[in-house]
Amino acid sequence: MFDLLIENGKVIDGTGRASLDADVGLHQGRIEAIGNLNNALAKTTIDASGMCVSPGFIDLHSHSDFTLLLDSRAESFIRQGVTTEVIGNCGMSAAPLKHPEDLKRNVFCYSEPFEPRWSSLDEYFSILEGNDLGINVAPLVGHAALRSYVMGFDQRQATIEEQAEMEQLLTDCMEVGAWGMSSGLEYFPGSSANSEEIDGLCRVVSKYDGLYATHVRNRDENYKKGFQEPLDNASRSDVRLQISHIVPKYGAPPEAARWTLEQISSYADTIDVACDAIPYEWGPTTMTAILPASLLKQNISEILNILSDPSRREALKHQKQFFWLLIRDQCWDSIKLYHSLKFPELIGKNGFELAEALNTTPFDAMLDILAEEGEQMFSVLMMGKIKRENDLADCIAYQGCSIISDGLSLSRTGPLKAINWSPGCYGWAPRFFERFVGKSKLLSIEEGVAKITGAPASRLGLSNRGLIRKGYLADIVVFDPEQLMDRTSLEDPAVYPAGINFVVINGEIAVENGQYLGRREGRLLRKFN
């Protein structure tokens, strides 16, 4: 007898191969049978007539390191069909952590006074495991967390001794089950590291057959250098490379996407390299990214002193390299405030509208918001229209590209209800299918499913998830392709999708007839489990 029988569905196995009409039988949290199971007995049966049955969606790039501590249900992801998320991206992770006050810099969307009860990655893992996770979580280690643990927030190269200490710290993290390391080389303090520092850390990751996921230094005017660096890192260290959110940004020339994809393909014979993309033209980041590294290396009180000095503030408008060239070119209608504790009434307003509301210039309005937030400045988010539509489509169509959220697992209730990061937190997976499979026909539904199931599972190194295959752990989504719909918008990002009928995590139903059941069936996935 099966514990759960999913019958009459269109089974899409996650490999990209053609679908088949079949039943799927689950027992003790695993897939036990696939085929014609008409006469089988089951404790629970789901009639999937007219619906697709696929592996649970795997988000290879999320930032829920902090939000899972406040609310481990991960409702906004599960209701999209996401059953596994990979945290610790863009160099940001909650551990290792030497000084508790560093947490607000080392994670995205730190949102309230919080006292960390850990230092090592293993201690952080234990807290996550004790939180009764609603979703499977696979952690990477952030390079910025390693660097700040060893060097603080110094804007300089590491000494030989500091390099050795970072490599030993990363070794300790890999030994307790991290899946690899990420870097955020466009963000401070990662931007202070040279390639030799990254090479040494990548060699550690390679020793454990881990994954190196990188947010490159530049994706606009200097995109060639930005994308070439990780390819060279991987060539020297033999690490498996994942280039995060590959789509070039505003300021890159029209040929940038094509050059980048061709460059990755040219290296694919000699290194293990792939990439991923977010299915949106708009993208979020912390508003402190408008500040130069020379300022961000200071403690928060000194940053606030500088922001209160008119002459020093004026110098911030003349940086050599802005994080977004949208700011340099004063494209203020393409930049919006997206999360602010002190200015909730201004959320959603663009730069011009912020300036009008605060009776100042757009850049000064952003500085005013950061100054008013004080200790919470690192939680302020902005959204920018940073990508071209045709570049996004080209990257998504690339065979070696997975699809990611670059978001946070949230909920419309509980301690996370006031947090906005991006519409992707509630709708990235349905949006991908609706826009790039349904409307544009860029991909077949089998190809689309593979890009958020089998492909990311393979990239991470998950050997028993990501496919509908006998013996695999039973993470499954039953969705209606005709009803699947992302219902979010930039103005209203916290709306759950339509068309996700059932979600099964480790063999247990988490979403039933579109309703979230609140069960905590997720697991912390350590690489050496």
What is the DSSP pairing of strand 273-277 with strand 401-403? Answer: parallel
Residue 249 resides in a domain: yes
**175 Cβ neighbours under 8 A, 6+ residues apart:** none
At residue 410 the predicted structure's pLDDT band, cuts being 50, 70 and 90, is very high
Q: Which domain covers residue 195, as residue numbers?
A: 57-281+387-460
Same domain? 452 vs 350: no
In 3D space, the residue among 453, 472, 520 whose CA is nearest the CA of residue 30 turns out to be: 472
- Measured CA to CA, the distance from residue 362 to residue 332 in angstroms comes to 7
**Tokens linked to 311:** 């002459």
Same domain? 151 vs 300: no
Tell me the residue ranges of DSSP E strands in 392-523.
Answer: 401-403, 476-479, 500-505, 508-512, 515-516
Boundary-marking domain end, from 460, 477, 505: 460
Residue 25 resides in a domain: no
Same domain? 367 vs 400: no
What does the pLDDT look like over 15-67, one tens digit per residue?
Answer: 999 999 999 999 999 999 999 999 899 999 999 999 999 999 999 999 999 99
How many domains does the chain divide into?
Answer: 2
Question: Is the predicted pLDDT of residue 294 greater than 90, yes or no?
Answer: no
Tell me, what's the pLDDT at 318? 85
Q: Indicate the pTM of the whole model.
A: 0.96
Same domain? 116 vs 129: yes
Helix ranges, 433-482 (H): 445-451, 454-460
Same domain? 294 vs 173: no
CB 73 within 8 A of CB 150: no
Same domain? 180 vs 223: yes
In 3D space, the residue among 395, 437, 396 whose CA is nearest the CA of residue 12 turns out to be: 437
Q: What is the CATH number of the domain that holds 203?
A: 3.20.20.140
CA angle, 277 as apex, 276 and 279 as ends, to 5°? 150
At residue 222 the predicted structure's pLDDT band, cuts being 50, 70 and 90, is very high
Question: What DSSP string describes 1-23?
Answer: -EEEEEEEEEE--SSSPPPEEEE
Tell me, what's the pLDDT at 320? 81
Same domain? 446 vs 352: no
What is the CA 167 to chain-centroid distance, rounded?
A: 24
**329 Cβ neighbours under 8 A, 6+ residues apart:** 251
Question: What DSSP string describes 164-214?
Answer: HHHHHHHHHHHHTT--EEEEETTSTTGGG--HHHHHHHHHHHHHTT-EEEE
Same domain? 147 vs 186: yes
What does the pLDDT look like over 343-393, one tens digit per residue?
Answer: 999 999 999 999 999 999 999 999 999 999 998 899 899 999 999 999 999
CB 31 within 8 A of CB 474: yes
Helix ranges, 433-486 (H): 445-451, 454-460
324-363: b (≥16 Cβ within 10 Å) or e: bbbbbeebbebbbbbbbbebeebbbbbbebbbeebeebbb
At residue 442 the predicted structure's pLDDT band, cuts being 50, 70 and 90, is very high
What does the pLDDT look like over 175-209, one tens digit per residue?
Answer: 999 999 999 999 999 999 999 999 999 999 999 99
CB 426 within 8 A of CB 434: no
Rounded mean pLDDT, 115-128 = 97
Tell me, what's the pLDDT at 158? 98
Rounded mean pLDDT, 154-164 = 97
Tell me, what's the pLDDT at 172? 98
Boundary-marking domain end, from 428, 460, 492: 460
Residue 14 resides in a domain: no
Mean pLDDT of the chain: 96
Rounded mean pLDDT, 292-296 = 89
Residue 238 resides in a domain: yes
Same domain? 208 vs 116: yes
Boundary-marking domain end, from 426, 460, 494: 460
Residue 191 resides in a domain: yes
Residue 346 resides in a domain: yes
Tell me, what's the pLDDT at 112? 75
Residue 453 resides in a domain: yes
Q: Exposed, middle or buried: residue 201 (CB in 10 Å: 0-12, 13-18, 19+)?
A: buried
Residue 220 resides in a domain: yes
Same domain? 223 vs 174: yes
Same domain? 130 vs 195: yes
Read off φ and ψ for residue 82, nearest 5 degrees: -80, 125
Same domain? 396 vs 264: yes
What does the pLDDT look like over 295-333, one tens digit per residue?
Answer: 988 988 999 998 988 888 888 888 888 899 999 999 999
